[in-house]
């Protein structure tokens, strides 16, 4: 018996338990049988255990170089380092599907362990939905895309991993992005459970919020890592090319971002219920669309697998998800009416609605551009490509408006904002934006759009910092140092101030994108030893090529000196690696040297022996801010996700706060006891308000609650 046989058997057993779980969970809910629901919980844990076993068997097959397994033979070789051999687990279609199923099972197991905090009526249907999704993936793995198929005549060595994947980015980007796609299943399962049970108040939102935050943060990390990987590997001088697979990964992130904002409106005012439910469904459907796009091969992309019939399975599953969700949605639509009406467009909820419209507009434009080649091929029998200029022209202005709304939102009150408060809160950011727009042309920035973009960034940045300063100043007046005041705000009000951190990170990232887009310089040169090329004040002197030959690959590097103002800065060595198994796919060794906030990016395009090299040179200003801003954004997402301390601890009072269950049964208590508990909570909230928000002026209609959010 082979290790792979153990893995194949584990997948079949996991499939049996995944089929059993929805049946037991739904039957338990309908019959109100705790025993059946408990058995569904245990079956979910069994699915996770068997998929861990199957995944371990596949990893063991790779590490043991069992080339009798077709998947192992196709994606590894004896010469590969052990860490790339391990990463080959998800380097192909079959293994990545197993990884998808494994992470879904593990997240489902985590939900089972922590589900005591979730509304009891929703739990069976959440489990049923999760395991129904799991069952689909396991059916595909067990039938048409098994990673454990054995060869009748095993080769002595494997083909090896695609050279583009032989990079440190392979260890982080694919698992993060696949996990991000998968993690949208949890919020979707809550939405389905809420629609089935009819419990469409804010309770289901509170239950799924942290799951959506986790999905959003993981997807953010996957997108950032993918951009970094493309920048360091592909050699075209950029990090986001609006490739169809890149777009597919961005789409659920956009709708999830909209949800994380609009959910606050429903929690606060009972509005945007249709939006929230629709955005959760859209996020999951778009994640399945992305999986279909990568695996079907119907849309050409450097990231996608070859054409495969497996795409038809995902297309059918996507159609089933849309029809089923839309049916439930329409059935429950009468119960999704807003509890209140908009009092004023100039309000917090008004800006959140604008935020939703912009994010969904960007998502629609991106989806349209991604699908347009297929639509044109079907209607005109001629495939028309959509390139980066389309996306930049359509989504660029929308992103700028989104940045502007991001700065305005925190400065507006709920319900309505008076003109005096609006003028007072927006005056300083508007002044700084005007100064930025006036000064930049004097500093030699000729592009109108660049000036507008930087002015918007200065407005939003000053608005965010102003809000942070107001909170710090109030705590400082109560005796805390400025540093401690800032740290305590983030520690005690994580959702609100983590949101500020997310906005700040996105703003820094936007500055990097604007700078690298509008001010990039590039040049091509074919040089012989001793010749040089100049660009942006740098001189690159070519010294020659060095060629090395190894059993598994050939390597060539071009030697250059970088000079500036007559001073030698350093030597660089851009090059290429040609793996013998993939001689038609040379891997790039790109030289990226950072001076301040500017990258000098050198790519070896071609060479002739040891005495000639053709290079592409890019000077990318502010690109480093893309990576720094992305890290700040992810950190903000983690801060938002991290559980907040109990209300009593945040206020400094040793009083046990009301639980959700206790709060819903206050009417069953004695009037004296209920009044005492309400008084305790009101007192704690009063202390928090005084410690976290500046005192509003007489004409300011803003009202802030402790921990009130302005972001995710």
- Residues 422 and 511 both lie in one domain: yes
| Residue 664 and residue 609 in one domain | no
One DSSP character per residue, 243-306 reads -HHHHHHHHHHHHHHHHHHHHHHHHHHS--HHHHHHHHHHHHHHHHHHHHHHHH--S--TTSPP
| Cα–Cα distance measured from residue 408 to residue 457, given in angstroms and rounded to the nearest whole number | 12
* Residue-level pLDDT at 638: 95
In this structure, the answer to whether residues 537 and 568 fall within a common structural domain is yes
Quote the number of domains for the chain: 2
- Measured in degrees and rounded to the nearest 5, phi and psi for residue 407 equal -80, -35
Determine contact, residues 204/194, Cβ cutoff 8 Å. Answer: yes
CB 377 within 8 A of CB 308: no
DSSP class of residue 526 equals: E
Check whether residue 426 and residue 512 sit in a common domain: yes
The residue behind tokens 């000098």 is 600
- Cα atoms in the 13 Å half-sphere on the side-chain side of 51: 33
* CATH code at position 587: 2.60.98
Pairing of strands 532-535, 553-564: unpaired
Q: Quick check: is 317 in a domain?
A: no
Is 300 within a domain?
no
300: left (phi over 0), alpha (psi -120 to 50) or beta: beta
Residue 706's pLDDT is what? 33
* 532/592 same-domain check: yes
Residue 103 lies in a domain: no
Q: In which domain, by residue range, is 455 found?
A: 418-518+658-692
Q: CA angle, 64 as apex, 63 and 69 as ends, to 5°?
A: 100
Q: Are residues 537 and 555 in the same domain?
A: yes
Per-residue model confidence (pLDDT) at position 647: 52
Q: What is the spatial distance between Cα 507 and Cα 464, in angstroms, rounded to a whole number? A: 10
Contact 442, 420 (CB under 8 A): no
The rounded Cα 394 to chain-centroid distance in angstroms is 22
- Name the burial class of residue 423, with classes exposed (0-12), middle (13-18) and buried (19+) by CB atoms within 10 angstroms of its CB: exposed
Give the span between the Cα atoms of 31 and 29, in whole angstroms: 6
Q: Residue 703 is encoded by which pair of tokens?
A: 């009202």
Mean pLDDT by 10 residues, the chain (712 residues): 91 97 96 94 97 97 95 93 94 93 97 87 95 96 94 91 88 93 95 92 85 96 95 92 91 96 86 91 94 72 58 91 95 83 78 93 94 80 80 93 91 79 83 90 85 94 90 87 88 88 96 94 94 94 93 92 94 93 87 94 92 94 96 95 64 35 38 46 45 37 38 35
Q: Map residue 129 onto helix, strand or coil.
A: helix
- Domain contains 653: no
Query: Within this chain, do residues 542 and 494 fall inside the same structural domain, yes or no?
Result: no
Instruction: Annotate 159-191 with DSSP letters as a single string.
Output: ----GGG-SGGGGTHHHHHHHHHHHTHHHHHHH
**Is residue 543 assigned to a domain?**
yes
As a whole number of angstroms, the distance between CA 414 and CA 417 comes to: 7
Q: Are strands 591-595 and 575-579 parallel, antiparallel or unpaired?
A: unpaired
Q: For residue 167, what are the contacts with CB-CB under 8 A and spacing of at least 6? A: 229, 232, 233, 587
Q: Is 156 exposed, middle or buried (0-12, 13-18, 19+ CB in 10 A)?
A: exposed
428 and 484 inside one domain: yes
Q: What is the pLDDT of residue 303?
A: 52
Predicted local distance difference test score (pLDDT) of residue 703:
39
First to last CA, the chain: 51
Q: Are residue 528 and residue 613 in the same domain, yes or no?
A: yes
Whether residues 509 and 534 share a domain: the answer is: no
Residue 406 within any structural domain of the chain? no
Residue 298 lies in a domain: no
530 with 502, same domain: the answer is: no
Please, which residues have CB within 8 angstroms of residue 212's CB and are 6 or more apart in sequence? 184, 186, 187, 256, 259, 260, 280, 283
Instruction: Give the closest residue to 211 by CA, choosing from 651, 561, 641.
Output: 641
Measured CA to CA, the distance from residue 359 to residue 255 in angstroms comes to 7
pLDDT of residue 50: 98
> Whole-angstrom Cα distance, residue 179 to residue 103?
6
**In the structure encoding, which two tokens stand for residue 120, read together?**
């009891």
Determine phi and psi for 139, rounding to 5 degrees.
-60, -45
Give CA separation, 30 vs 121, 186, 325, 649, in Å: 10, 22, 20, 40
Q: Let me know if residue 286 belongs to a domain.
A: no
- What does each C-alpha distance from 27 to 24, 60, 289, 443 come to in angstroms? 5, 39, 31, 70
Q: Are residues 435 and 508 in the same domain?
A: yes
Q: What angle do CA 472, 477, 483 make, to 5 degrees?
A: 40
């Amino acid at each position: 018996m082979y290790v792979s046989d153990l893995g194949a058997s584990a997948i079949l057993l996991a499939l049996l338990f995944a089929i059993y779980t929805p049946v037991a969970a739904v039957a338990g809910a309908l019959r109100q049988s705790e025993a059946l629901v408990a058995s569904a919980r245990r079956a979910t844990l069994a699915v996770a255990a068997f998929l861990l076993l199957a995944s371990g068997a596949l990893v063991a097959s790779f590490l043991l170089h069992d080339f009798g397994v077709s998947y192992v033979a196709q994606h590894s070789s004896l010469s590969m380092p052990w860490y790339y051999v391990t990463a080959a687990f998800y380097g192909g279609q079959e293994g990545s599907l197993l990884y998808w199923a494994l992470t879904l099972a593990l997240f489902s197991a985590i939900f089972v362990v922590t589900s005591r905090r979730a509304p009891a009526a929703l739990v069976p249907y959440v489990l049923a939905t999760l395991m129904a999704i799991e069952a689909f993936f396991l059916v595909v793995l067990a039938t048409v895309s098994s990673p454990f198929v054995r060869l009748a005549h095993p080769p002595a060595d494997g083909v090896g991993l695609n050279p583009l994947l032989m990079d440190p980015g392979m260890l982080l980007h694919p698992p993060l992005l696949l996990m991000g796609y998968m993690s949208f299943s949890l919020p979707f399962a809550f939405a389905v459970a809420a629609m089935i049970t009819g419990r469409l108040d804010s309770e289901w939102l509170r239950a799924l919020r942290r799951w959506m935050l986790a999905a959003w943060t993981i997807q953010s990390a996957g997108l950032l890592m993918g951009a970094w990987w493309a920048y360091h590997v592909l050699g075209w001088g950029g990090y986001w090319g609006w490739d169809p697979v890149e777009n597919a990964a961005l789409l659920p992130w956009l709708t999830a971002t909209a949800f994380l904002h609009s959910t606050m409106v429903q929690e606060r005012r009972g509005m945007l219920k249709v939006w929230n439910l629709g955005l959760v469904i859209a996020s999951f459907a778009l994640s399945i669309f992305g999986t279909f796009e990568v695996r079907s091969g119907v849309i050409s992309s450097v990231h996608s697998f070859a054409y495969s019939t497996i795409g038809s399975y995902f297309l059918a599953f996507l159609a089933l998800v849309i029809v089923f969700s839309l049916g439930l949605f329409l059935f429950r639509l009468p119960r999704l009416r807003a509890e209140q009406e908009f009092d004023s467009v100039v309000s917090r909820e008004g800006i959140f609605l604008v935020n939703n419209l912009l994010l969904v507009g960007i998502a629609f434009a991106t989806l349209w551009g991604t699908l347009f080649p297929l639509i044109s091929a079907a209607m005109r029998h001629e495939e028309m490509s959509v390139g980066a200029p389309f996306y930049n022209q359509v989504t660029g202005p929308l992103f700028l408006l989104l940045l502007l709304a991001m700065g305005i939102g925190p400065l507006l009150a709920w319900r309505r904002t008076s003109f005096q408060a609006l003028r007072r809160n927006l005056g300083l950011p508007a002044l700084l934006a005007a100064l930025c727009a006036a000064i930049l042309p004097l500093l030699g920035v000729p592009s109108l759009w660049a000036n507008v973009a930087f002015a918007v960034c200065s407005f939003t940045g000053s608005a965010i910092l102003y809000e942070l300063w107001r909170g710090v100043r109030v705590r400082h007046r109560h005796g805390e140092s400025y540093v401690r005041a800032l740290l305590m705000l983030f520690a005690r009000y994580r959702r609100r101030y983590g949101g500020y951190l997310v906005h700040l990170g996105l703003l820094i990232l936007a500055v990097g994108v604007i700078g690298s887009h509008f001010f990039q310089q590039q040049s091509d040169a074919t040089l012989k030893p001793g010749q040089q090329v100049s660009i942006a004040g740098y001189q690159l002197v070519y010294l020659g090529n060095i060629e090395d030959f190894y059993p598994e690959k050939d390597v060539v590097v071009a030697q250059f000196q970088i000079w500036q103002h007559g001073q030698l800065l350093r030597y660089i060595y851009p090059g290429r690696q040609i793996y013998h198994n993939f001689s038609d796919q040379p891997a790039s060794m790109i030289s990226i040297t950072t001076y301040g906030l500017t990258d000098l990016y050198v790519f070896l395009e071609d060479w002739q022996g040891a005495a000639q090299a053709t290079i592409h040179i890019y000077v990318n200003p502010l690109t480093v801010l893309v990576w720094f801003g992305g890290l700040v954004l992810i950190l903000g997402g983690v801060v938002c996700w991290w559980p907040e301390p109990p209300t009593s601890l945040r206020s400094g009072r040793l009083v046990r706060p009301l639980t959700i269950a206790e709060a819903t049964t206050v009417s069953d208590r004695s009037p004296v006891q209920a009044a005492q508990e309400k008084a305790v909570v009101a007192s704690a909230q009063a202390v928090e308000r005084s410690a976290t928000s500046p005192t509003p002026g007489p004409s300011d209609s803003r009202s802030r609650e402790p921990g009130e959010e302005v972001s995710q």
